[in-house]
């Protein structure tokens, strides 16, 4: 793609500052994103985290870096409380469903991958599955155990006082944070966490392995340290996750990485494992529909069932900056769908009129420069969308090439969309699109000829099919389901 025009600046949660991206390996960008725990369907809030990571990856590609992106799948070790308490989410769901953990993991991993695909999230270079890395986890823990860990009856614990500046990423260990930490008898510091959890005597787990600290399972934080370091090598460029991870999961990963890397003492900046830590803010929904424990929660499939194309949700995410909270509402999603539909219609118009130019012709184009400036400013997608729509509004010279270049970053995939996909159509609606489209076309022709009797008759025929025509709709819908 176009050569880098503006320096890429990203907000580093570790320093709480915008920093210019400087790759560890020239020309390359190595990114690790904390992936899902596959004990249930992801909700759309979870998917915001992957849309964000995807936009980051696409931007790095746009800026000319060769991207290696890794996302993990957590199929063991994540407890019901991030602060190290409660039951393993996977074991709990398997018991509740009376299924094997492997079946649970496979089912929900596939469901997650389906959402990834539906949202145009690019495939990472590698999906790391936690249970494929157990040997490496035991090795990592063995390497740091003498200097940084201690054993209790329940497992091997990491002593956070053995590294410099524990919790720098979280900044303040809030009272609430402290209160959430479960007291395990014998822990030296409240924030110490298990890196290996022994199976309690008399119990068996579906997933357990032998280790120097007894039969059991790895801690969730250990998994991400190991998989990121194994595949990308410490230090790598960027580590991402949702903002909740800034408080416990990532500070714990960083502490382990400090212990493991410790080339320059235990200093955080030099040994956190990644140069930049980035966090997306939450999607929030006031009535609690995002909670996986609530009956009907907000999954991508629910959006589709109600007739909203998944990419309307992607656009809704892009309309907000990744570091601001985004409130979900059906009205907001509807507005994003309308905007996406307008973009698609504009794209189709351009596609029919623009002869098309090569990528080389657009280097230095002012619209592309504005787009680049927005994306380079900590991924300012709301501003980038305005440049995108400017090109779509065309025709300006090279509109189509510009739009294609920008869409490769935004990932809306306009060239694969058509207006039919973007019609609100709840699941189970039976409608013969071709009949509707030809009746609508016939009616438009009659109106043009001022043959109102025919036009009214056709409107009634459409109404009988459940279709309401929308003459002169300011948003550009030509009909909707009545």
Q: Please say which residue, 34 or 226, places its beta carbon nearer to Zn ion.
A: 34
- The interface partner of residue 224, options being Zn ion, ligand AMP, none and the CB cut-off 5 to 8 Å by kind, is Zn ion
Query: Using CB distances below 5 to 8 A depending on partner kind, what does residue 459 bind out of ligand AMP, Zn ion, none?
Result: none
Give the CA-trace dihedral at 236, 224, 268, 255, to 10 degrees: -160
Instruction: Return the residue matching tokens 């998917």.
Output: 47
* 37/131 with CB nearer ligand AMP: 37
Residue 150 or residue 282: which is nearer to ligand AMP going by CB? 282
For the CB of residue 277, give the shortest distance to Zn ion in the complex, in Å.
11
Choose, by CB under 5 A, the member of 129, 224, 379, 400 that binds Zn ion: 224
The binder of 267, among Zn ion, ligand AMP, none, by C-beta within 5 to 8 A per type, is none
Tokens, residue 308: 């909203």
Q: Which stretch binds Zn ion (CB under 5 A): 13-21, 221-229, 370-378, 440-448?
A: 221-229
Structure tokens at 22: 């400087």
**Nearest CB to Zn ion, comparing residues 219 and 411:** 219
In the complex, minimum distance from the CB of residue 321 to Zn ion, in angstroms, rounded to a whole number: 23
Closer CB to ligand AMP, 42 or 394, in the complex: 42
Minimal distance, residue 135 CB to Zn ion, in Å: 19
Pick the stretch among 34-42, 228-236, 418-426, 466-474 that binds Zn ion (CB under 5 A).
Answer: 34-42
Dist. CA 123–CA 117, nearest whole Å: 8
In the list Zn ion, ligand AMP, none, the entry touching 376 (Cβ below 5 to 8 angstroms by class) is none
Question: Cβ neighbours of residue 286 under 8 Å, at least 6 residues apart?
Answer: 327
Per CB under 6 A, residues contacting ligand AMP are 34, 36-37, 45-46, 48-49, 241-242, 244-245, 280, 282-283, 290
Q: Which of 34, 76, 316, 367 binds Zn ion (CB under 5 A)?
A: 34
3-state secondary structure 249-295: HHHHHHHHHHHHHCEEEECHHHHCCEEEEEEECCEECCCCCCCCCCC
Pick left, alpha or beta for residue 319 (phi over 0 → left; psi -120 to 50 → alpha; otherwise beta).
alpha
At its nearest, how many Å lie between Zn ion and the CB of residue 245?
A: 7
Q: What SS3 state is found at 129?
A: strand
The dihedral of CA 440, 477, 407, 43: what is its sign? negative
Q: How many other CB atoms sit within 10 Å of the CB of residue 365?
A: 20
Provide the 10 A C-beta neighbour count for residue 60: 25
With beta carbons less than 8 A apart as the criterion, state whether 391 and 367 touch: yes
Q: Evaluate whether 39 touches 93 at the Cβ level (below 8 Å).
A: yes
Q: Give whichever of 34 and 145 is closer to Zn ion, judged by the CB atom.
A: 34
Rule CB under 5 A: say whether 232 interacts with Zn ion. Answer: no
Cβ closer to ligand AMP: 49 or 195? 49
By a kind-dependent CB cut-off of 5 to 8 A, residue 165 interacts, out of Zn ion, ligand AMP, none, with none
Binding residues for Zn ion, per CB under 5 A? Answer: 34, 224
């Amino acid at each position: 793609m176009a050569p880098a025009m503006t320096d890429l600046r990203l907000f580093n949660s570790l320093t709480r500052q915008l920093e210019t991206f400087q790759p560890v390996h020239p020309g390359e960008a190595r990114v690790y994103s904390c992936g899902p725990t596959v004990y249930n369907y992801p909700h759309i809030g979870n998917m915001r985290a992957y849309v964000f990571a995807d936009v980051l990856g696409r931007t790095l590609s746009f800026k000319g870096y060769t991207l290696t992106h890794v996302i993990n799948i957590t199929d063991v070790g994540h407890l019901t409380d991030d602060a190290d308490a409660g039951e393993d989410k996977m074991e709990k769901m398997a018991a509740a469903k009376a299924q094997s953990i492997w079946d649970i993991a496979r089912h929900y991993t596939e469901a997650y991958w389906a959402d990834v695909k539906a949202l145009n999230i690019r495939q990472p270079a590698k999906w790391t599955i936690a249970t494929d890395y157990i040997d490496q986890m035991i090795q990592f823990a063995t390497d740091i155990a003498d200097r940084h860990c201690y054993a209790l009856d329940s497992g091997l614990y990491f002593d956070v006082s053995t590294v410099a500046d524990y919790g720098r990423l979280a900044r303040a260990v809030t009272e609430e944070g402290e209160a959430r930490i479960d007291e395990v008898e014998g822990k030296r510091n409240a924030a110490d966490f298990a890196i290996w959890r022994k199976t309690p005597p008399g119990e068996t787990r579906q997933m357990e392995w032998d280790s120097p600290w007894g039969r059991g399972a790895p801690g969730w934080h250990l998994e991400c340290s190991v998989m990121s370091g194994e595949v990308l090598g410490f230090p790598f460029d960027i580590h991402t996750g949702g903002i909740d991870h800034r408080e416990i999961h990532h500070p714990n990963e960083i502490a382990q990485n400090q212990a493991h890397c410790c080339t320059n003492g235990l200093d955080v900046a030099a040994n956190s494992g990644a140069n930049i830590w980035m966090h997306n803010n939450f999607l929030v929904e006031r009535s609690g529909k995002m909670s996986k424990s609530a009956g009907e929660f907000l999954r991508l499939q629910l959006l589709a069932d109600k007739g909203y194309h998944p990419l309307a949700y992607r656009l809704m995410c892009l309309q907000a900056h990744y570091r601001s909270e985004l409130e979900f509402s059906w009205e907001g999603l509807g507005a994003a769908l309308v905007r996406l539909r307008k973009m698609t219609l504009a794209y189709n118009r351009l596609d029919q009129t623009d002869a098309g130019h090569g990528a080389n012709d657009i280097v230095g184009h002012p619209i592309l420069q504005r787009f680049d400036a927005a994306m380079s400013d900590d991924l300012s997608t709301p501003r980038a969308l305005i440049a995108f729509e400017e090109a779509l509004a065309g025709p300006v010279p090279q509109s189509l090439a510009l739009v294609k270049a920008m869409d490769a970053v935004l990932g809306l995939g306009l060239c694969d969309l058509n207006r039919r996909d973007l019609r609100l159509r709840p699941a189970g609606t039976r409608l013969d699109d071709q009949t509707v489209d030809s009746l609508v076309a016939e009616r438009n022709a009659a109106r043009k000829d001022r043959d109102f009797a025919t036009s009214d008759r056709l409107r009634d025929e459409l109404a009988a099919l459940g279709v309401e025509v929308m003459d002169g709709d300011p948003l550009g819908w030509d009909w909707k389901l009545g």
